[in-house]
Amino acid sequence: MSRQSNRTTDSKKMNSELFTLTYGALVTQLCKDYENDEEVNKQLDKMGYNIGVRLIEDFLARSSIGRCQDFRETADIIAKVAFKMYLGITPSVTNWSPGGDEFSLILENNPLADFVELPDNHSTLIYSNLLCGALRGALEMVQMAVDVKFAQDSLRGDNVTEIRMKFIKRIEENLPAGEE
Amino acid sequence: MDTRFTRGKSTILERPLSRPKTEVSLSAFALLFSEMVQYCQSRVYSVTELQTRLAEMGQRVGASMLDVLVLREKNGKRETKVLNMLLFIKVNVWKSLFGKEADKLEQANDDDKTYYIIEKDPLINAYISVPKENSSLNCAAFTAGVVEAILTHSGFPAKVTAHWHKGTTLMIKFNESVIARDKALDGR
């Protein structure tokens, strides 16, 4: 590719408020289009997955990070490099399970949910579910099946926002990526 | 604080409106926007409908941005004249949303209701390639929605549409009443 020679590794930045509000407009639209919160959560997860599947390539190219030795290293890279690069935040990695296959990302502030208050009639909406999909999609592309879900969300009155990630298995065969 | 406002769930109203600029990566935005376009596309039958949907989402963004922008950029002072309002959009709104001024602001030669904001390479379209069969599709319809909401909620009702012309041109058509009012103000 001819572009490779002058490609820069730092990504271009933009105002996070436009990003936040754009995401907000999308979630609002989904809430209008679907009848219940579960469907919206599912749709957000699906969109996140599609993003993750594409994002990983951008990430590997820009970060020039190689294969991780273990799940702990993966956790660190996600928190310190990936979140920093794309959302400008660094969540902390905590609450490791004894087996080392499960951990939590604690987000002090969540750029997706800035300005947001959940109305009472959307109490089961997982507003930032796109993040889970994106993490799952990106890791799947590097042969890791991971279960990702929100354990706590400050939008729903919890003290912190916590994403729980559980390693399921290595995906042995390098299957071609499906469209969805 | 009255719980009616925060319902005890968030501290959003206690935070300052002016705050340090925070940034996210353009790739993250591009991928999100791409999903939005694909989602909208899956639910419509024509390019016009798709653009309408994108514009609706843009309107939500514009409506939410307006008050905070007026407060931060203009100390709460609202514009009353068409030209100043358009300059506010070209300069202040563009700078805070896209990090730069819009390339050009022009008035139509033959129509005093119509103005154009021209952007050679809009940020929104940076990573979008439009398929040949839908060549009239311009995803800056989203930006058009943002501008339309900002104008309308500032008391300058207008229709804003996005077109492929000198890059991307946002065509602003004001309501008759807006222009009539502006002329009346000039006469005083």
Determine, yes or no, domain membership for B42.
yes
Q: What is the DSSP string of B16-59?
A: -SS----EEEHHHHHHHHHHHHHHHHTT-SSHHHHHHHHHHHHH
Per-residue pLDDT band for A174 (boundaries 50, 70, 90) equals low
Q: Please calculate the CA angle B174-B52-B148 and round it to the nearest 5 degrees.
A: 30
Summarised one tens digit per residue, pLDDT across range B61-98 is: 999 999 999 999 999 899 999 999 999 999 999 999 99
Q: What angle do CA B118, B119, B124 make, to 5 degrees?
A: 135
Residues whose CB falls within 8 Å of the CB of residue A105, separated by 6 or more in sequence, listed in order: A75, A78, A79, A83, A91, A92, A93, A162, A163, A165
CA dihedral B84, A24, B168, B69 (to 10 degrees): 20
CA distances to A118, B55, B102, B103 from B99, in Å: 30, 21, 10, 12
Task: Give the minimum alpha-carbon distance from B3 to chain A in angstroms, rounded to a whole number.
Answer: 13
Residue B134 sits in a domain whose CATH number is: 3.30.1380.20
- What are the residues whose beta carbons fall under 8 Å from the beta carbon of A153, sequence distance 6 or more? A113, A126, A127, A128, A161, A162
Q: Per CATH, the architecture of A15-170 is what?
A: 2-Layer Sandwich (3.30)
A169 with A139: CB under 8 angstroms? no
Structural domain includes residue B8: no
**Per the CB < 8 Å rule, is B26 touching A115?**
no
Q: How many CA atoms lie within 13 A of A6 on its CB side?
A: 2
- Residue-wise over A143-161: b if at least 16 C-beta within 10 A, else e? ebebebebebbbbbeeeeb
- Does a structural domain hold residue B165? yes
CA distance B26 to B38: 18
A87–B29 CB contact, under 8 Å: no
- pLDDT tens per residue across span B106-165: 999 999 999 999 999 998 888 888 888 888 999 999 999 999 999 999 999 999 999 999
Residue A66 corresponds to which amino acid? G
In a domain, B59, yes or no: yes
Strands (E), chain A: 13-15, 92-94, 102-107, 144-152, 161-170
Expressed as residue numbers, the domain containing B55 is: 26-187
* Interface residues on B facing A, Cβ-Cβ cutoff 8 A: 6-10, 12, 21-29, 31-33, 35-36, 38-39, 43, 53, 56-58, 60-61, 64-65, 96-99, 123, 142
pLDDT in tens, B125-134: 888 888 888 8
- The verdict on residue B20 lying in a domain is no
Q: Is the pLDDT of residue A92 over 80?
A: yes
* Average pLDDT value over all residues in chain B: 90
Contact B98 A14 (CB under 8 A): yes
Does residue B102 belong to any structural domain of this protein?
yes
Reported as a pLDDT band with limits 50, 70 and 90, residue A3 is very low
The amino acid sitting at A32 is: K
Contacts with B93 from chain A: Cβ below 8 Å = none
Better pLDDT: A64 or A134: A134
Residue B14 lies in a domain: no
Residue B35 in tokens: 């999903």
Q: How many domains does chain B have?
A: 1
Is B97 in Cβ contact with A13 (below 8 Å)?
Answer: no
CB nearest B12 (choices: A14, A117, A156): A117
Q: Give the Cα separation of B89 and B96 in Å (integer).
A: 10
Tell whether B39 is covered by a domain: yes
State the DSSP code for B90: I
